[in-house]
Structure 1
Amino acid sequence: VSRGADLATVVRAFSYLLPSIFSVTIPMAFLLGVLLAFGRMASDSEIVALRASGVSPLRLLRPVVSLSVLTALLTFYVYAVLGPAANQAYREIIFALIVSRARNDVTPRVFNDDLIPGGTMVLYVSDIAAETGQWKDVFIHDTRNPQQPKVILARGGQLTIDKANRRVGLDLEHGVSYSFQPSTPGEVAADNFETGYFPFAYEEFFPKLPLAKGDRELTMAELSQRVRELRAQGRAKDTPRYEVEWHKKLAIPTACLVFGLLGLGLSLGSKKEARSAAFGLSIAVIFIYYVFIRLGEQAGDTGLMAPLPAVWAANVVLGAAGVILLFLNHREAAFDPLDPRHYSALLPRIRTRASSRGPAVSSARRPPTSGSTRWSSPRSGPSSCSSASWTSSTTCSRTRSRAPSSSTTTRSSARRSCTC
């Protein structure tokens, strides 16, 4: 609006920003929906009822994964297909607004020094035709080159901007150009012309609008082509930002799958109010994810990390957290990730399992204890025990099972008679 845009142009420019917004809000909305749906089921004890009916919570993965795939495809189309075209269209609108403002800012009978940022050129026109925008009686004082300043006088002129080639200049008619050097102020070079074109450097006229397409305005095919071109030119150090953007066009849609796993794992064990817990968890997860993405993008652009691990680290970390939560909810009755008591209960189990992995002693080499049956080592072979001993063992076991009320002495003697 400050650049003279009408309401229709503002609405059109805002619509071109929607793909970039939707590429972030679609995964967020999906995560919030998963947390709300399954968090409500958990708070209403419907998950407990499913467990009691013999239904595993992992069965709930089927609808979640199906919706995750559909949401990921939609996000990919919005971010990787619509996004570059919309960003390019938005850039064209900004370019047109800057051009329109540059033409409209020239005021007749006023010394205009803001045509080029920095005030290195002063423009004066006596009048401007309302129909064509043609300038009349043009005066220009050009000090862009301090070693050779110029003064240009012309009967007519106009500002021309080539959008396709991003060129900016002045078309002047019936004029003369005076140039001199400060070292010899008495010598002036005059150049008469009927028509003349005086170009401006694009970076001078549009300092905040780059000439080439940015990485977010390129499709995946164009990004791959740009990387190949830079490597062929020996500029491999300029490729990381294009490779990072290429991986982002796949990693951000894949986040829908990660959010599905993580949302299901977080909501199954939650016993808090579904709505408040869902909003809090979704905000926390989204914040963590996009902090990971932003840090990875900066690390990849600057070369601190390779583009692949820099972009995909967030998906790997949060995806692993989702799988772990699903596993814990499958093993436990209900694992609430926000309840510290579950973590304190897990620590003794972890220590017990770690200690049980020590060197085990074979039961064949273990020394016999009193009152237990002594079996020979397998290395001694079956000849150490007679067939009568095996028969006695079978008979003793049958006798004990049929006469449970026998005395301790009888059982001890039977056990001794079965010993090899």
Structure 2
Amino acid sequence: MDPVKTFDRYLLSQLTLLFGFFSLVLVSVYWVNRAALLFEELIGDGQSASVFLEFTALALPNVIRLVLPISAFTATIFVINRMSSESELVVARSMGFSPFRMMRAVVVFGLMVTVLISILNHILVPISRSELADRRQAIANNDAAKLLREGRFIHPGNGITFFVGEITDQGQLNGVYLLDASNEARQITYIANQALLVPSEEGLKLIMFEGTSQTLRTSDQRLTTTRFKDAVYDLQGLADTGRRNVRIEELSTQELITPTPWQVHHMNSSRAEFLYEGHARIAQPFLALAGAMIGFAALMLGQYSRFGFGRQIAFAIFLLIVLQLIDNAASDLARQSDKSWPVVYLSPIIGVLMAIGLLFISQGTKRSHNATETEVES
């Protein structure tokens, strides 16, 4: 059996196993935090548990996308540190494996993670974001979820109080009370025997029949009462029934890289933002490769120790923070001009070059150490 291929398979299997473990742990942590916010938002708004589960499932692809690069870096650090403490790296070195040769399995592992993130970036995340936005719009358009609740005072908007005594099978509202205190200058109270909710092109309308309206002017506390046979109250903004605007995060990568003037104009985004979003989907997965390579290369610095690589791990984390700062700066620059999109690729390129440079330094350190040992022996 070829010892080279055996070592590669062993290291790759260890990296993959730990990557799966750390991904599961980190995704669970992120998911629990996200689920807590969604639970408060949805259940508090009267939605069912099935809607809550659907929303959390649709949020998972984006959470996984954010977690995978961290998991790849953490798995690499953990595996290499363990192999060093158990003298497995010493055995590999004694067999003639250089740091560059040992990193081949790490590069394959990093490319595997890069492919996973690319699938998420280009396919699953845009689809899930679009579906999540559609579901939010559907809930916003569900009049019953917001306004049609018998026997309860609800507050669909700032300063708005709404009450329905009874809802018939035909959708007629009986015993309607509506208080509009959104205007500081006056408060209007509507009381009607019957009412109907009617969607229109301008938004949702509440048509009230056989009732009274009381207007209280706050400046002098003057109250005016008016009886009406029918009155219309505009609920636009309280329950939006219009079509939602598609965001650029929901578009395909091809549409982002080659945006049309119509898309740029109607989506209230600049061409630079389109190009940044599209090229970021291509470039950012390679940060997982760069992170894994940096984690491995940083631990190759210095001498092997059974006590681990505390300083090297700290140095690797520092380099990862620097890489993230570079990525943030490049993102800001790319959004400013539609000709600056190439800077999006700087952070993964710099990360890979950092790892290669660390490996060269590691090889030089090893040669210097070996030469010193030879002189001492002679």
- TM-score where L is the length of structure 2: 0.64
Q: Which residue of 1 aligns with 2:205?
A: 170
Tell me, what secondary structure is at the counterpart of 2:284?
Answer: helix
Encode CA deviations 1:94-122: one digit per residue, 9 max, x unaligned.
445554552256756x6x6x4333x3x66
Q: Which residue of 2 aligns with 1:27?
A: 69
Q: Which residue of 1 aligns with 2:156?
A: 115
Q: Which residue of 2 aligns with 1:66?
A: 108
Tell me, what secondary structure is at the counterpart of 1:172?
Answer: strand
Q: Which aligned pairs between 1:203-222 and structure 2 lie closer than 5 A?
A: 205=239, 211-222=244-255
Distance 1:324 1:317 in 2: 10
Q: Which residue of 2 aligns with 1:297?
A: 331
Q: Which residue of 2 aligns with 1:103?
A: 147
2:55 equivalent to 1:16: no
Encode CA deviations 1:351-390: one digit per residue, 9 max, x unaligned.
xxxxxxxxxxxxxxxxxxxxxxxxxxxxxxxxxxxxxxxx
1:312 to 333, 337, 345: 345
In structure 2, relative to structure 1, the CA distance for the partners of 1:131 and 1:284 (3 Å cut) is: farther
2:131 to 89, 98, 101: 89
Distance 1:234 1:171 in 2: 30
Distance 2:113 2:316 in 1: 16
Distance 2:337 2:257 in 1: 21
2:117 equivalent to 1:75: yes
Tell me which amino acid in the other structure corresponds to 2:77: L
Q: Which aligned pairs between 1:316-331 and structure 2 lie closer than 5 A?
A: 316-331=349-364
2:289 to 257, 280, 292: 257
Distance 1:101 1:158 in 2: 16
Q: Deviation of residue 311 (structure 1)?
A: 2.8
Once the two structures are aligned, what percentage of the paired residues are identical? 15
Encode CA deviations 1:136-165: one digit per residue, 9 max, x unaligned.
254667798999x99988664344669xx9
Distance 1:54 1:102 in 2: 70
1:248 to 272, 276, 280: 280
The 8 Å contact of residues 122 and 140 in structure 1, kept in 2 or not, is answered as yes
| Aligned alpha-carbon RMSD (Å) | 4.6
Q: Deviation of residue 22 (structure 1)?
A: 0.8
Distance 2:257 2:74 in 1: 34
Q: Deviation of residue 298 (structure 1)?
A: 3.7
The alignment covers a number of residue pairs equal to: 316
Q: Which residue of 1 aligns with 2:22?
A: none
The 8 Å contact of residues 177 and 192 in structure 2, kept in 1 or not, is answered as yes
In structure 2, relative to structure 1, the CA distance for the partners of 1:122 and 1:223 (3 Å cut) is: same
Q: Deviation of residue 39 (structure 1)?
A: 3.2
Q: Deviation of residue 238 (structure 1)?
A: 1.9
Distance 1:291 1:130 in 2: 59
In structure 2, relative to structure 1, the CA distance for the partners of 1:251 and 1:159 (3 Å cut) is: farther
Q: Which residue of 1 aligns with 2:174?
A: 136
Tell me which amino acid in the other structure corresponds to 2:55: A
The 8 Å contact of residues 36 and 278 in structure 1, kept in 2 or not, is answered as no
In structure 2, relative to structure 1, the CA distance for the partners of 1:85 and 1:269 (3 Å cut) is: same
Q: Which runs of 5+ in 1 are unaligned?
A: 183-188, 337-420
The 8 Å contact of residues 227 and 242 in structure 1, kept in 2 or not, is answered as no
In structure 2, relative to structure 1, the CA distance for the partners of 1:70 and 1:213 (3 Å cut) is: same
In structure 2, relative to structure 1, the CA distance for the partners of 1:332 and 1:170 (3 Å cut) is: same
Distance 2:338 2:311 in 1: 35
Distance 1:236 1:276 in 2: 48
Encode CA deviations 1:5-26: one digit per residue, 9 max, x unaligned.
3333222211211111111211
In structure 2, relative to structure 1, the CA distance for the partners of 1:151 and 1:41 (3 Å cut) is: closer
Tell me, what secondary structure is at the counterpart of 1:19?
Answer: helix
Tell me, what secondary structure is at the counterpart of 2:207?
Answer: strand
Larger Rg: 1 or 2? 1
Distance 1:335 1:91 in 2: 59
The 8 Å contact of residues 23 and 78 in structure 1, kept in 2 or not, is answered as yes
Q: Which residue of 2 aligns with 1:266?
A: 298
